[in-house]
Structure 1
Amino acid sequence: MSSRTSMYNKNDKEIFVSVIVPVYNSAETIDRCLLSICNQQYGKLEIIVVDDGSTDNSTKIISKYLDGAPTVSLIKQENSGSFNARCTGIQHARGKYIAFVDSDDWIDGSMISNLVKHMEDCDLLSSGFFRDARIVTDHLSEGMHYVDNEDFWKNYLISESDYEDGIIGGLTNALWCKLFKRELCLKVINKRLDVSAKINEDFYFLLLYLCECKKIKVTYESYYHYINNPNSITQKVYFDFLRDYTEIFYSIIDKTKGYEFADVIRKNLIRRFLYEISVWGTQYMGAGIIDYSKVFQLSFPNLDSLNNKNVVLYCEKEVWSCFDYISENHRDINVVAIISSSLNVDTYFGIPVVNLQELSRISCDFIVLTMGDEDLANEATKELCQMGIEDNKILRRPPILKNLLAEILLSDA
């Protein structure tokens, strides 16, 4: 280790950056990870490794970095997840800024020095990263962004683009391609983030951190190398998927009470989580674990009252599951037309697909709004009323609540 020790500036008393590395059974990758951090061109840093109850040789490999390298420290704790491991690291950090590196990954030698250059006059810096030799960047433009406005929260939480590379809204969910201020990190963990969820914890922390910010900066420069770990929770069937999403959702609502843009966050958070559930639900929970038709059974308990009625379905992307449920379980309902911007066909299983302007020529008794997004349903209701459709002819799904999500699980039904 003597050659590696020379990379540290022992005479520099001021530690600007703390690099926190949560570790759990990472014997195959931790050496490469720590070596890449030790090889940083930036001398003013400390490395805090938090071993989260590893049962392999991880700590043995880490220990060789402790000899002759005083800026590397090891903290051991009982297994409680990477989220809590990061919080432990924050509590022990001494740097002005904090960076996170996962034990599977590695970073370029110039990463810390280049990120620090961008941190002037901002509370958070978000950079790009490499994924399978491909660069992934945020969906926000490069440069400074002001957090204390409504448009930022709308664009951050969810955009109109399809889910791509872990980005739904403006910033990547990951903590590891960013640079944080320690004082703001401490404010976040002092909120008592007592959640047991194993997914979306990074998003949870990042959102609460943004509530403490005034300005953030985005750069498309990329120095972080993300390695896809087939053993991670995001690559496995995970049966508590909906439970964890629901826990994170309600905790965010609770922790942001009193924040100036709490209402904007709540509304757009609902849209984001509904979209994430629709995209990731089958991957995490496995085919057949979620009975999607049950969503509509629970959302529309009185569909039998529509028997022998002419009905128009007003759908978004949920058109297939809604139509399948009605055609299989309520065959006496006469679906005469479907309105859906996601269908680029003239008919769907023999049912005419129309737009709003064509609705006037359709004879129907009821229009059923199947979208779970409350804002979209409100907008659709307003448009229909402006067209002269009576309010009592418009049937809507109630918002998806915590108990409804729980009932969707077949295993808990």
Structure 2
Amino acid sequence: MVSVIIPMYNAEKYIAECLDSIVSQDYQDIEIIVIDDGSTDNSADIVSDYQKRDGRIKLVRQENHGLVYSRKQGIRESAGDYILFVDSDDWLEHDMISALVRMSVSDNSDVVASAATFFMGDNRRISRNAAPEGVYQGEELIELKKRLFCYEDYTTMALLPFLWNKLWKKDLIQKYVLAADEKMTIAEDVAIGFPAILSAGRVTVTNKSFYNYRKTSSSMLNQKKDALKELENIALVYRNIKSVCADAGTEDYLVGGLERFIINQLFTRAYPLVENAAGLKGLFPYCPEIPEKVVIYGAGELGREIYSYLLKRTNVKCWIDKDAENLKAFGLPVDTIDGCRAADGDTVIVAVFSKRATDSIVRDLTGRGYKKDNILIFKMDDTLEHELIEKMIGD
């Protein structure tokens, strides 16, 4: 049996669609455990109505304790051999469970990792795992584990960093869910899922997308953040991962990759504190002094953080992203590269971690007449990474 665990908080707008996609699965040997984390809307009532029509649904009510606590409750309530996590505002393809169970059984895999489809406004985008499709065991699995946190660069992990695009054997994942620090409010999926994968004996990767993730405006817009609180959260995730991996004897797989993941989190969640720790007045690691006029290329997590930081400190002439039209619908003041009125002498900050993407962007910009010397890219070495983490978080 597969236990489908759905943590829920104020999801009245989407929970029906989510449940419809699960009760209609072509694999019927499932239980659906909804953990209502103190919702104040009609979410629980909607689930109760479904529960009356389908005996496989179990509703567990609790006071608001957060996502990690809710997942723990789901694990404790579960009776299945497999675990599938689902967010309450997302939905599944009708054959997700049957397909992943079939792969797990035929490959004898502890975890099956699929692709996922992200819906943002009117656009949809399929994200696939960086690691090629296939069954990983032996030396191939060891290599996958070594590159799990950092497959190519600061943003590319070997597998998508989510719990919900994977089917887990319960006897693998439950230990890591129950060991997770309940105070974690960021990167919980990585802190739980990746240490579990490091302990797996066999992993299956498929390029087919079965999970549909809804990207909302609240998840896109840069909300006001408490940088100190964010730093505390990042440190908590860092130490939690190191601790559980040390207990499992898998800490050797963390060398290098975990630090790059933490660098990503520091730059996208607590950038003002990164600047302070670096001891520079400029824009670390781009330039020692902030230019008088800048163009920012990139509206991902790093781009949004850099934009917020520079907006109060200099003249941001324009903010460019290849997906500008769709991002505008989410309230981001982004423009296309053709719509940007930049002068020859303007400095361009390429706010992108990926080296592959950065190289492509630089080629595009220089091809449009931008001077290469005025294009600044993200670049750090291992020593600088280690020193920054040591200053901000410690060992």
1:38 matched residue in structure 2: 23
1:209 matched residue in structure 2: 196
Counterpart Cα distance in 1 of 2:199 and 2:252: 16
**Letter paired with 2:272:** I
Counterpart Cα distance in 2 of 1:52 and 1:233: 23
1:31–1:61 CA contact under 8 A, matched in 2: yes
Q: 2:286 aligns with which of 308, 320, 323?
A: 320
**Letter paired with 1:142:** E
2:152 matched residue in structure 1: 160
Q: 1:193 aligns with which of 159, 180, 185?
A: 180
Counterpart Cα distance in 2 of 1:23 and 1:73: 13
- Evaluate the alpha carbon distance shift between residue 202 and residue 235 of structure 1 in structure 2; reply closer, same or farther with a 3 A threshold: farther
Distance apart, 1:403 and its partner CA: 5.8
- Evaluate the alpha carbon distance shift between residue 264 and residue 57 of structure 1 in structure 2; reply closer, same or farther with a 3 A threshold: same
1:179 matched residue in structure 2: 167
Cα displacement string for residues 228-247 of structure 1 (whole angstroms, at most 9, x for unaligned residues) = 13335986333222221111
Structure 2 unaligned blocks of 5 or more: 292-354, 363-370
2:128 matched residue in structure 1: 137
Written as runs of structure 1 = structure 2, the 5 A alignment for 1:289-368 is 290=272, 292-297=274-279, 318-322=284-288
Distance apart, 1:405 and its partner CA: 4.9
SS of residue paired to 1:263? helix
2:135–2:205 CA contact under 8 A, matched in 1: yes
Q: 1:78 aligns with which of 63, 66, 73?
A: 63
1:47 matched residue in structure 2: 32
Structure with bigger gyration radius = 1
1:69 matched residue in structure 2: 54
1:372–1:400 CA contact under 8 A, matched in 2: no
**Letter paired with 1:194:** D
Distance apart, 1:157 and its partner CA: 0.7
1:60 matched residue in structure 2: 45
- Evaluate the alpha carbon distance shift between residue 403 and residue 75 of structure 1 in structure 2; reply closer, same or farther with a 3 A threshold: farther
SS of residue paired to 1:128? strand
Distance apart, 1:176 and its partner CA: 1.1
Distance apart, 1:49 and its partner CA: 0.5
- Identity among equivalent positions (%) equals 28
What is the number of equivalent residue pairs in this alignment?
308
2:76 matched residue in structure 1: 91
1:218 matched residue in structure 2: 205
1:404 matched residue in structure 2: 392
Distance apart, 1:42 and its partner CA: 0.9
Cα displacement string for residues 357-379 of structure 1 (whole angstroms, at most 9, x for unaligned residues) = xxxxxxxxxxxxx9765xx33xx
Structure 1 unaligned blocks of 5 or more: 1-15, 301-316, 326-340, 354-369, 378-395, 407-413
Cα displacement string for residues 324-355 of structure 1 (whole angstroms, at most 9, x for unaligned residues) = 59xxxxxxxxxxxxxxx989877579xxx9xx
2:6 matched residue in structure 1: 21
Which one has more relative contact order, counting CA pairs under 8 Å at least 6 apart?
2
RMSD: 3.1
- Evaluate the alpha carbon distance shift between residue 292 and residue 248 of structure 1 in structure 2; reply closer, same or farther with a 3 A threshold: closer
Which TM-score applies when normalising by structure 2? 0.70
Which TM-score applies when normalising by structure 1? 0.67
